[in-house]
Structure 1
Amino acid sequence: MDRRESLKLTAGLGLGLGLYPFNLGEQSSDKKLGIALVGLGSYATAMLAPALKDASHCYLAGIVSGTPEKRAKWKIDHQLKDENIYDYEHFDELASNKDIDIVYIVLPNSMHAEYTIRALEAGKHVICEKPMGMNADECRKMIAARDKSGKKLQIGYRLYYEPHHLLAHEIGKEKRLGKFLMAETSLAFRMGRPNWWRMDPVMGGGGALMDLGVYNIQAARRMAAELPSAVTAQAYVFDKNLYKGIYETYMFQLLYPSGAVSNTTCSFNAYVDRAHASYERGWVTLQPASNGGEKVVMTSGSENIKIPPPITGLQQTAQMDAFARNILEDTAVSASGEEGLTDMIIIDAIKRAIKSGRIEDIVYGL
């Protein structure tokens, strides 16, 4: 089935845009919540700030940066108030700023837990960029801080609000193509930045596994609509001059209680971006699976499935607007702290499997 044929599939399951949490046609409030971005690196600059310009329920209200030049530039570029611009020494003063409702942590992985907890303690709702923490124990502390504060916490899982990933998850959850049998989810790109913090084992925590591997795990377990119970894993380094203290390429196999299996490759030295799941009566493929923009979505089976149109604009707009609506309407967060914890429990087990060379059990829980 080619792309044109796949996009002609007609509505047999009634999967319309009304199903998805990013549908902003129903305006819950005219109020827009103020977001402060903490860390002004490439992701905040190229993705989050532009995404906020198109948001319906939130806006860029403030920034936190340790670089004076960045603070000055962002003030002019985004017309920010002086009192909404902070350095890290004055981070905790966010508590008294009524313009800022949400703090978005866009720092290196090793700083996620500390600043998420501090923002919650300051009485702010928090979005923490993925991965949630360096390990599952950090995630548990973040969830405890959320519960103590009474505020909401979202993990920066933009694909939880992307229509084709939501469709794939619904197909698996509702068993519309029958029992889940296997999946292949892989993501890799060539990384030529030796001084990038993601290459630092202390700041990044594990190279491509902690960055790209999160997407792979999400896609596999959500297409399966089942949590894996065990994992085997392998890791390799080919360019020893560039990869020091981390692996270049990871491969792992998630084993499910039903007997199904998913296989993943994630790497900073190749290119692939694909998620494929096989079921009793057909299959679903998303390609590219993780990048923004239009996706080729292919299905085959006895059911006719309507393919929703792609999001117009940046995926992060839907993600942040959905969180703002969660706050305004006091509803549950899809990309919750528990979801982030689940992925880190699996990543911890992958790391153990690489070290031991054996099948490692995955044990969930707070």
Structure 2
Amino acid sequence: MESKNNNTSRRSFLTGPAAAGAAFTIMRPELVKGWAPAKLKVGLVGCGGRGSQAVLDALKGDSAVELVAMGDAFEDKLEKSLKDLRTRAEAMGAGDRIRVEPDKRFVGFDAFKKVLKSDIDVVFLATPPGWRPIHFEAAIEANKHVFCEKPFGVDGTGIRRFMAAAQKSVEKKLTVVSGAQRRSDPYYLENVDALKNGKLGDIVGLYAYWVGTPVIQQRNGRDAKWGDMEWQLRNWYSNLWICGDQIVEQHLHNIDVCNWVMGTHPISVVATGGAAWRPKDEIHGTIFDHISADYEYPNGVRMSSYCRQFPNGLYGQVNEVVAGAKGRIELTQPRGGVGYYLEHTKLYKSIRGDGPYINESLEVAASTLTCIMGRESAYSGQKITWDMILNSKQDLMPKEDQWKYDGKPEIPDFPVPGKYKFI
């Protein structure tokens, strides 16, 4: 992933002790033509709104895809998703492709393992992102092709785990398509290609924006029946260990575009942020509601990144701006654009060998780590380098003995620069 405007040699993806003896570089595998069944069977892990919509996008993106297995931590979420999917698929004329029998509906923290043991060709990983490295690793070990929602993790430890599995997925020639749907949108594909080929001359600056409104799942508070783990899972966007904060969970889309344009990831960042309106309570958690970050790429080009979640009715902006020596361009994807289903079209073409082999795992993992780097700089008040975040010892995921509904995952203090410690 070398920038055409950058003569700096990229270091391998993982270096030093964190590499555990392996060096990872972003690879662009050759075209692979292989056999795949005419119909592809899909298993869904994570039956919230994002996972359910991915199934509908898949039905639209390929006429020979069928859903045969589902898994979620909560039975009510799974059953609601299945009911809605049947109704909406029927309206699309695809009702016969939702074929999830009772014995293929799995509930609990080990539901992902049971989905992977089902007779499926492709697994959709759409749980909250804290679980992504664990689920992705298991999917690759099970030799499944993957549609992997973004982001790919929430801390350096998780991303290293994801990268190790990503490298195996490339070696096994498994197809991996990410939920970073701008990479599948013809508008973005055309413009990023033009930028890489000098449309605006040398890139001199980039600007990434996600200025939007809050995501809060449980505005009415906690049900008395829910234990700590269940409460945090049902209110996941407000919990750092499973969400990663807005810059990771949501703003990744824009930062990923900037990395895509540059053909590499930044080498350092200085960021700031806080909570201007977000209350300090268990509904809203301990994440920030705004972060501004100044990233630097290996060739000295800088990216200004700004994400913000303020209440409805205020100014909004979600796009990227690329400045070149010959001008500038604003890149904007409309909500519900064609990339949402074309990412599935290319996924199945890759699996069947009807199109180029696609594996986006390492590139989007790099963008995820770029976002985590920005968050850690804002939380700590430090300049964070790529090597620092790549070797970070931070591990936010609760241990397996906490994987139960009445488990008690640690709730961190609100991050205060100068007090918060980068690990």
Please report the TM-score for the alignment, with normalisation by the length of structure 2: 0.67
Q: Is the 8 A contact 1:172 1:222 kept in 2?
A: no
Report if the CA contact (8 A) 2:45-2:127 is conserved: yes
C-alpha deviation, 1:263, in angstroms: 1.1
Q: 2:150 aligned to 130, 153, 174, which one?
A: 130
Residue in structure 1 matching 2:325, options 257, 263, 280: 280
Q: Distance in 2 between matches of 1:237 and 1:318?
A: 37
Picking from 336, 349, 373, the partner of 1:325 is 349
Structure 1 residues 102 and 263: CA distance shift in structure 2, 3 A: same
48, 53, 59: which is aligned to 1:53? 59
Residue of structure 2 aligned with 1:182, choices 205, 212, 215: 205
Structure 2 CA distance for aligned equivalents of residues 160 and 340 of structure 1:
10
Give yes or no for the alignment of 1:41 onto 2:86: no
Q: Are residues 345 and 317 of structure 1, via their aligned partners in 2, closer, same or farther at CA, if it must alter by over 3 Å? A: same
Q: CA RMSD in A?
A: 2.8
Say if 1:143 and 1:222 are closer, same or farther in 2 by CA, change over 3 A: closer
Separation in structure 1 between the aligned mates of residue 249 and residue 149 of structure 2, nearest angstrom = 10
Matches of residues 198-209 of structure 1 in structure 2 within 5 Å?
Answer: 198-206=237-245, 208-209=246-247
C-alpha spacing 1:262/1:192, structure 2 compared with 1 (3 Å):
closer
Contact 1:92/1:122 (8 A) holds in 2: no
Deviation at residue 55 of structure 1 after TM alignment: 2.2
* Residue 246 of structure 1, CA deviation: 1.0
Give distance in 2, aligned partners of 1:73 and 1:212: 25
Select 2:267's aligned residue among 229, 233, 254. Answer: 229
Question: 1:55, 1:192 → 2: CA distance?
Answer: 28
Contact 1:52–1:60, Cα closer than 8 Å, also in 2: no
Q: How many pairs are equivalent?
A: 314
- Amino acid corresponding to residue 284 of structure 1 in structure 2: I
From 114, 117, 129, give the equivalent of 1:109: 129
Alignment check: 8 A CA contact 1:187 1:266 kept: yes
Q: Work out whether residues 265 and 370 of structure 2, in 8 Å CA contact, stay in contact via their aligned partners in 1.
A: no
1:271 aligned to which of 296, 308, 316: 316
User: Could you list the per-position Cα deviations for residues 85-142 of structure 1 after superposition, in whole angstroms to 9, with x for gaps in the alignment?
Assistant: 22234542344433x1111111111111122222223332222211101223322323
Mark the CA change 1:82 to 1:238 in structure 2 (over 3 Å): closer, same or farther. Answer: same
User: Residue 316 of structure 1 is aligned with which of 333, 336, 340?
Assistant: 340
- 2:151, 2:248 within 8 Å by CA — same for their partners in 1? yes
Distance 1:357 1:72, change over 3 A: closer
Inter-CA distance 54–358: structure 2 relative to 1 (3 Å threshold)? same
Q: How much has 1:68 moved relative to structure 2?
A: 3.3
TM-score by length of 1: 0.76
Task: Select between 117-126 and 210-219 the one with higher mean Cα deviation.
Answer: 117-126
Aligned to 2:384: 360
- The question of whether the paired residues in 1 share the 8 Å contact of 2:72 and 2:112 is answered with no
| Superposed CA offset, 1:6-27 (max 9, x none) | xxxxxxxxxxxxxxxxxxxxxx
Q: Which amino acid aligns with 1:112?
A: R
* Contact 1:139/1:337, CA 8 A, preserved across alignment: no
**Structure 2 CA distance for aligned equivalents of residues 85 and 279 of structure 1:** 51
Query: Of residues 92, 96, 118 in structure 2, which corresponds to 1:97?
Result: 118
TM-superposition CA deviations, 1:259-304 (whole Å, max 9, x none): 32221111121521121111111221123x46333xxxxxxxxxxx
Say whether the 8 Å CA contact 2:212–2:309 is kept in structure 1: yes
Aligned equivalent of 1:239, options 277, 284, 287: 277
Alignment correspondent of 2:335? 291
2:249 aligned residue (211, 215, 231): 211
**Secondary structure of 1:54's partner?**
helix
